[in-house]
């Protein structure tokens, strides 16, 4: 499978505006401070959000591409000026209400031909598992308020994947009180699980956050080794860290 790079996301100079299907408004004088960590390494972020499961059977493959709000934010900022960040963030804030995934599960049949699990079967067998064990099912329909963004994003990924097609899964990211449940920039853990569906076994993808590309490294209190924020223990001396969930 061809590697997905930053170039396709920024193709034709559109950046985030192209994904969203709208152009950002002209920048206004800043009324709120721009975050210090204004830009991230988007190529490094791509490596973190995309996961493969090849372990169960050699002729079976599952792929999951998590696209949280912070992913779209990073892509937008990569092609924008600092004074535009606040406007860009505002234009995509609705994405915080959802967790978006592009997925594909495939296998080879007895004739050696590649077969793909249908989108409706993926949706029927998919479960998003939060850190506290809460399970959420995918939405049955793509919400209108993000349909354009998600569809454009899906087309961009597929165009850069040698014609390989993905299915879209979207989960609500809001709790009963209206709060956002998950952020890729905060300490947390989330898993996307697919139940077994003949002839494929169960598959599970897990992301520990904050994603390393979204946060500055932390130092081990004992050996002072620089380590990702998502790690909870130093692998060299076992010291507990103040960071994350790994």
pLDDT at site 51 = 95
List for the chain the helix, strand, coil content (%; round to 5). 30, 25, 45
The string of pLDDT tens digits covering residues 52-79 is 987 656 688 999 999 999 999 998 888 8
At residue 243 the predicted structure's pLDDT band, cuts being 50, 70 and 90, is: low
pLDDT at site 57 = 62
Which is nearest to 76 in space by CA: 64, 90, 63?
90
Query: End-to-end distance of the chain based on CA atoms, in angstroms?
Result: 28
Please provide residue 88's backbone torsions phi and psi, each rounded to the nearest 5 degrees.
-65, -45
Which is nearest to 20 in space by CA: 66, 104, 89, 119?
89
pLDDT at site 52 = 92
pLDDT at site 24 = 35
């Amino acid at each position: 499978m061809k590697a997905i790079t930053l170039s396709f996301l920024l193709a034709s100079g559109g950046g985030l505006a192209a994904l969203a299907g709208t152009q950002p408004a002209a920048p206004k004088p800043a009324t709120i401070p721009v975050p210090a960590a204004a830009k991230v390494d988007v190529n490094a972020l791509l490596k973190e959000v995309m996961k493969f499961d090849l372990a169960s059977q050699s002729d079976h493959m599952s792929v999951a591409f998590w696209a949280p709000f912070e992913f779209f934010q990073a892509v937008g900022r990569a092609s924008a000026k600092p004074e535009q960040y606040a406007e860009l963030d505002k234009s995509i804030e609705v994405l915080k209400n959802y967790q978006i995934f592009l997925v594909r599960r495939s296998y080879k049949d007895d004739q050696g031909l590649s077969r793909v699990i249908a989108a409706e079967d993926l949706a029927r067998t998919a479960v998003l598992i939060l850190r506290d064990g809460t399970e959420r099912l995918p939405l049955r329909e793509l919400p209108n308020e993000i349909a354009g963004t998600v569809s454009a994003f899906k087309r961009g990924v597929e165009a850069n994947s040698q014609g390989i097609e993905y299915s879209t899964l979207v989960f609500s990211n809001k709790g009963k009180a209206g709060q956002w449940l998950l952020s890729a920039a905060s300490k947390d853990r989330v898993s996307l699980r697919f139940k077994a569906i003949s002839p494929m076994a169960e598959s599970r993808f897990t992301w520990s956050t904050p994603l390393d590309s979204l946060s500055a490294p932390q130092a081990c209190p004992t050996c002072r080794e620089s380590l990702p924020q998502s790690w909870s223990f130093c692998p060299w001396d076992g010291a507990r860290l103040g960071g994350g969930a790994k």
